[in-house]
């Protein structure tokens, strides 16, 4: 009998994480001699701990295909970080208990930095407990901050969304600046790494166009330099459009927009740096402003997903299964750029021990010397990632997204588990 697989989505979802799910499930279905069923964790790894598994074999081929057109996490994702093995061995033992009960031989975790670490630990504990398990991490993060891989599935789509939004808002503001808004501020995601902020810069094809200024988390906010630059752009071009990262910090490393709440990982919840910057512009320069906070809109915007990103997201899911079938353990498929012009890529591989908890920030030479924009080198890196459209089907004016049946697998362990 072929052993079963477990697949879970972890951390913040993206417009295309379900394409990775489709890559995993469709590829597993093609190898039915080696992989039995694919069980998905309801709400990510929590589904494994609580033995709340979803039987993906109950879903039609069409439904699984439709996942490539659907944003969000089809099985539920979770912000739930397993503690270190020393601190909470019980969680890891429980995972193995559930896996054993359902004869799970393949573990696929679809997430970012934190979950790469979780995936590695699960692989280690299984080994330590003598339970045969092949664990492969499927990369996903809008933040684009995983190391080794050239880019991260999920990023290209948010990049395309924010660049398109800035381009469009720029046309709007430019056409009304004479009598109305002079300064427009758009806040985007990216707590520590400025990749998404950088992507808004793609909207500008020549000097004078939006965005005029970018505020990166990698560059300490210099209020005076920023205000001087805003003033200069308004004088020169009539308006100034600004892209700002939610993770903008002052010179002492404090977030400009800290809201005081922390999530399960101990990260501060951010939000609202745009209104703060706007208030500064009004207070110090007396200029009329508007601001936007794209928030979840940016990472769920499947309607404007990047075709390149979609294909890569599917490919890493597919490769994860193929690697697992080859017995490759504690690894992660990567995107390897083999050529920039024309853009070509292939799937590579990284060891999870080289990936876990390493955060790839923007190289300094991707940011202009003044700290306020992207360089040509950065533009050349980013552009191919947003190329291509992959519009979903529409019905009655709205994208037709799928909701799966998500049928529960009958429980086999007799123990309950409290998170």
Active site residues: 143
Choose, by CB under 8 A, the member of 160, 249, 318, 360 that binds a second copy. 160
Footprint on residues 179-238 left by a second copy (CB under 8 A)? 179-181, 184, 186, 202-203
* Contact between 56 and 39 (Cβ < 8 Å): yes
Distance CA 371, CA 146 (A): 23
Indicate the DSSP class of residue 371.
Answer: S
Pairing of strands 331-339, 268-270: unpaired
Instruction: Round to whole Å and give the CA distance between 105 and 93.
Output: 15
For 62, phi then psi, to 5°, come to: -65, -40
Give the range of 102-110, 298-306, 344-352, 362-370 binding a second copy by CB under 8 A.
298-306
Residues belonging to the chain: 419
Stretch that binds a second copy, among 20-28, 92-100, 290-298, 357-365 (CB under 8 A): 290-298
281 sits near a second copy (criterion: CB under 8 A): no
Q: Which of 4, 20, 27, 43 binds a second copy (CB under 8 A)?
A: 43
Q: At what angle do helices 89-101 and 113-128 cross, to 10 degrees?
A: 70
Query: Phi, psi (5° rounding) for residue 80?
Result: -140, 115
Strand, helix or coil for residue 107: strand
Are 278 and 227 in contact by the 8 Å Cβ rule? The answer is no
- The count of chain residues that interact with a second copy, using the rule CB under 8 A, is 85
Of the pair 323, 345, the CB lying nearest a second copy is at 345
E strands, 257-371, in order: 258-262, 268-270, 289-293, 331-339, 344-351
Window 4-33: residues binding a second copy (CB under 8 A) = 9, 12-13, 15
Compute the CA torsion angle 39, 43, 46, 52 (nearest 10 deg): -50
Between residues 44 and 105, which has the closer beta carbon with respect to a second copy? 44
- The interface region with a second copy, picked from 61-69, 131-139, 271-279, 318-326 by CB under 8 A, is 271-279
Interface residue with a second copy among 8, 21, 28, 46 (CB under 8 A) is 46
Q: Which of 408, 415, 410, 417 lies closest to 55, judged by CA?
A: 408
User: Rule CB under 8 A: is residue 290 a binding residue for a second copy?
Assistant: yes
Give the strand pairing for 331-339 and 213-215: unpaired
Rank residues 348 and 388 by Cβ distance to a second copy and give the closer one: 388
Site for a second copy in 352-381 (CB under 8 A): none
What is the rounded CA–CA span in Å between residue 24 and residue 9? 12
Residues 305-344 close enough to bind a second copy by CB under 8 A? 306
Q: Which is nearer to a second copy, 159 or 355 (CB)?
A: 159
Backbone angles phi, psi at 33, to 5 degrees: -75, -25
Say if residues 16 and 310 touch (Cβ distance below 8 Å). yes
Q: Which of residues 67-126 bind a second copy (CB under 8 A)?
A: 70-80
Note whether 351 binds a second copy by CB under 8 A.
no
Which residue stretch of 41-49, 322-330, 346-354, 367-375 sits at the interface with a second copy (rule: CB under 8 A)?
41-49
Does 167 participate in binding a second copy (rule CB under 8 A)?
yes
Contact predicate 215/245, CB 8 Å: yes
Quick check: 175 binds a second copy (CB under 8 A)?
Answer: yes
User: Applying CB under 8 A, which of residues 103, 223, 387, 405 lies at the interface with a second copy?
Assistant: 387
Of residues 66, 294, 356, 390, which one binds a second copy by CB under 8 A?
294
Q: Which of 30, 32, 83, 171 binds a second copy (CB under 8 A)?
A: 171
Give the shortest CB-42-to-a second copy separation in angstroms. 8
Residue 33: CB minimum distance to a second copy, A: 32
Options 21-29, 278-286, 334-342, 358-366: segment touching a second copy (CB under 8 A): 278-286
User: Which residues in the 238-267 window bind a second copy by CB under 8 A?
Assistant: 259-261, 263-265
Binder to a second copy among 8, 24, 119, 163 (CB under 8 A)? Answer: 163
- Could you tell me which of 135, 126, 130 has the C-alpha nearest to residue 331? 135
**Per-residue burial over 231-253, b = 16 or more CB atoms within 10 Å of its CB, e = otherwise:** bebbeebebbbbbbbbbbbeeee
Member of 30, 236, 254, 282 binding a second copy (CB under 8 A): 282
At CA 12, angle to CA 7 and CA 16, rounded to 5?
65
Minimum CB separation of residue 291 from a second copy in Å reads 6
């Amino acid at each position: 009998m072929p052993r079963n697989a477990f697949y879970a989505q972890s951390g913040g979802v993206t417009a295309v994480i379900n394409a990775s799910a489709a890559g995993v499930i469709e590829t597993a279905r093609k190898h039915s001699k080696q992989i039995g069923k694919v069980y998905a964790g309801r709400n990510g790894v929590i589904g494994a701990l609580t033995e709340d598994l979803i039987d993906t074999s109950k879903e039609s081929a069409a439904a699984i295909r439709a996942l490539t057109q659907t944003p969000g996490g089809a099985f539920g994702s979770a912000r739930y970080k397993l503690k270190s093995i020393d601190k909470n061995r019980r969680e890891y033992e429980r995972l193995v208990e559930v896996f054993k009960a359902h004869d799970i031989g393949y573990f696929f975790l679809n997430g970012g930095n934190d979950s790469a670490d979780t995936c590695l630990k699960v692989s280690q504990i299984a080994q330590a407990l003598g339970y045969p398990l092949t664990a492969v991490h499927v990369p996903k993060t809008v933040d684009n901050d995983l190391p080794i891989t050239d880019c991260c599935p999920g990023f290209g789509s948010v990049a395309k969304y924010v660049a398109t939004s800035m381009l469009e808002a720029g046309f709007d503001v430019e056409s009304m600046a004479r009598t109305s808004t002079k300064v427009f501020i758009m806040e985007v995601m990216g707590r520590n790494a400025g990749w998404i902020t950088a992507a808004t810069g793609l909207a500008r094809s020549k000097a004078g166009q939006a965005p005029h200024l970018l505020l990166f988390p990698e560059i300490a906010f210099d209020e005076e330099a920023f205000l001087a630059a805003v003033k200069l752009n308004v004088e020169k071009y009539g308006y100034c459009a600004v892209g700002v990262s939610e993770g903008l910090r002052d010179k002492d490393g404090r977030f400009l927009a800290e809201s005081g709440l922390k999530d399960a990982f101990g990260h501060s919840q951010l939000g609202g740096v745009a209104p703060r910057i706007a208030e500064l512009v009004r207070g110090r320069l007396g200029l009329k402003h508007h601001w936007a906070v794209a928030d979840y809109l940016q990472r769920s915007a499947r309607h404007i997903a990047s075709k390149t990103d979609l294909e890569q997201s599917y490919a890493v899911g597919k490769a994860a299964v193929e690697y697992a079938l080859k017995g490759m353990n504690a690894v992660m498929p990567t995107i390897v750029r083999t050529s920039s012009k024309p853009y070509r890529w292939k799937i590579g591989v990284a060891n999870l021990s080289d990936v876990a908890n390493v955060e790839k920030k923007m190289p300094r030479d991707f940011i202009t010397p003044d700290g306020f924009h992207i360089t040509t080198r950065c533009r050349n890196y980013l552009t191919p990632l947003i190329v291509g459209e992959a519009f979903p089907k529409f019905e009655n004016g709205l994208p037709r997204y799928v909701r799966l049946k998500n049928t529960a697998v009958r429980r086999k362990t007799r123990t309950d588990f409290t998170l």
